[in-house]
A = this chain, B = another copy of it.
C-alpha cells in the first residue's frame, strides 16, 4: 500500500501539499493539484483512515447493536441507520448481541476500542446490566436507544408509541366484533411489552369489555415455547378466546403454529392480529393483519439524532415516539 509520502515524492511536492489536496482544507495551485492527482491515480493510492483517525480522533464510524439479525425488523432498522449515516458521511458497523447481555457488553467494549463516534443500541432482552450503558454515557459516548427503551437511564431514544400501536390492533378486533380477545406477549420485563399490554387493556376498557386476566398470556421470545403455551390454552374450545393479539413476531409465529395444530382458521374460528410483518410478500397465506412499525424510519431518525449529538455536543434528552400503522388483511376481517 502506497503512503502519502510516496505520492508526494512522485508528484515532486511535500506531504503537506498532498494532504491539502486530499482534504481540500487549504487551497493548492491548479498545477500542483493535477500533478498530485495524477500521482494518486498512478499509485492507486488510498488514504489510510487508520492513521487519519489517530491524528484527528475522528473515525466517522457509528456502531449499532441489535439482538437478532434474522428477524426482518432489525435489518430494516440497520438499513435506515446506514442510509442516514451515509448521507452525512458516516459508516456504520453492525453487530448482533443475540439477546445476550454478555455479548452486548463485549460489543460495547469492542466499539469503544474501535473508536466509534456514537452507538445505536437495541438493548438485549436478557436482564440487562445497565451499569455499562450508564458508564458509557457518562464517559461522553453519544448513545441512542432504539425500539427498546431502558427505564431509569437518561438517554435519547426512538421507538414506536407502543400503547397507541396496541390500541390500533385491539380496537380493530373489537370493531370486527371480537369480544374474548387474548393478548400473547413476550416477557413483561420488557417495557415495550408492558406498554403494549397497557394499550390492549385501555382498548377493552374503553369498549366496555371486562378484562379477563386469564386472557393475558405472557411468554418468552422463543416460538417453540410459545407454540406449546398457546396450544395448551387453545385446545379447550369452551375457554378459547375468539381472537388473538400478538405483541411481536416470535409470539406470532408460536401462536400461528398452535392455531394450525388445533386446526383453527382465521378469521372465522379465531381472529388474529400481530405486531411486525412476518414476511414481506403478500403472496403468502394466511394474510395476516399486522401492526407495522416504521423500522426504517426508526433507524434513520435514531442515526440522525445520534449524529446531531456527535456534531453539536450535548443537548436535552430527546424521546421520539413514532406512530405504527395497521395493515388490515384477511386474518381479522370478519365483517
Which A residues are closer than 8 A to B by beta carbons?
Answer: 1, 44, 46-51, 53-54, 59, 69-70, 72, 75-76, 78-79, 82, 91, 93-96, 109-110, 112-115, 135, 139, 253, 256-257, 260, 278-281, 283-285
Q: Is the CB of A69 within 8 A of B59?
A: no
* Cβ–Cβ < 8 Å partners of A256 in chain B: 283
* Cβ–Cβ < 8 Å partners of A54 in chain B: 48, 50-51, 54
* Cβ–Cβ < 8 Å partners of A78 in chain B: 69
**Assuming A253-B283, A281-B253, is B115 touching A48 (CB within 8 A)?**
yes
**Assuming A54-B54, A139-B44, A284-B284, is B49 touching A114 (CB within 8 A)?**
yes
Lowest 3 A-B CB distances belong to which pairs?
A284-B284, A46-B112, A279-B279
Query: Which of A114, A115, A135 has the largest number of chain B CB atoms within 10 A?
Result: A114
- Please, which residue of chain B has its CB at the minimum distance from the CB of A71? B280
> Smallest CB–CB gap between A135 and chain B, Å?
6
Copies of this subunit: 2
* Cβ–Cβ < 8 Å partners of A82 in chain B: 95-96
- Please, which residue of chain B has its CB at the minimum distance from the CB of A259? B283
- Please, which residue of chain B has its CB at the minimum distance from the CB of A107? B91
A91-B95, A253-B281 known; 8 other A-B pairs, CB under 8 Å? A46-B113, A49-B114, A50-B53, A51-B54, A69-B78, A91-B114, A94-B94, A279-B284
Complex CA gap A293/B66 in Å reads 26
Q: Is the CB of A70 within 8 A of B59?
A: no
User: When the two chains form the complex, which single residue of B75, B96, B115 contacts A50, counting CB atoms closer than 8 Å?
Assistant: B115
Q: List 16 A-B contacts (CB under 8 A).
A: A46-B112, A50-B50, A50-B54, A50-B114, A69-B75, A69-B78, A70-B72, A70-B75, A82-B95, A93-B93, A94-B94, A256-B283, A257-B283, A260-B283, A279-B279, A279-B281
**Assuming A1-B139, A75-B69, A79-B69, is B284 touching A48 (CB within 8 A)?**
no
**Assuming A49-B115, A69-B75, A70-B75, is B283 touching A281 (CB within 8 A)?**
no
* Cβ–Cβ < 8 Å partners of A285 in chain B: 284-285
> Smallest CB–CB gap between A19 and chain B, Å?
14
Complex CA gap A76/B96 in Å reads 13
> Smallest CB–CB gap between A66 and chain B, Å?
12
Complex CA gap A125/B70 in Å reads 24
Q: Is the CB of A46 within 8 A of B109?
A: yes
* Cβ–Cβ < 8 Å partners of A44 in chain B: 135, 139
Complex CA gap A302/B54 in Å reads 31
> Smallest CB–CB gap between A295 and chain B, Å?
11
Q: Is the CB of A91 within 8 A of B110?
A: yes
* Cβ–Cβ < 8 Å partners of A94 in chain B: 94
Complex CA gap A139/B45 in Å reads 11
Query: Which of A69, A95, A257, A284 has the largest number of chain B CB atoms within 10 A?
Result: A284
Complex CA gap A281/B256 in Å reads 11
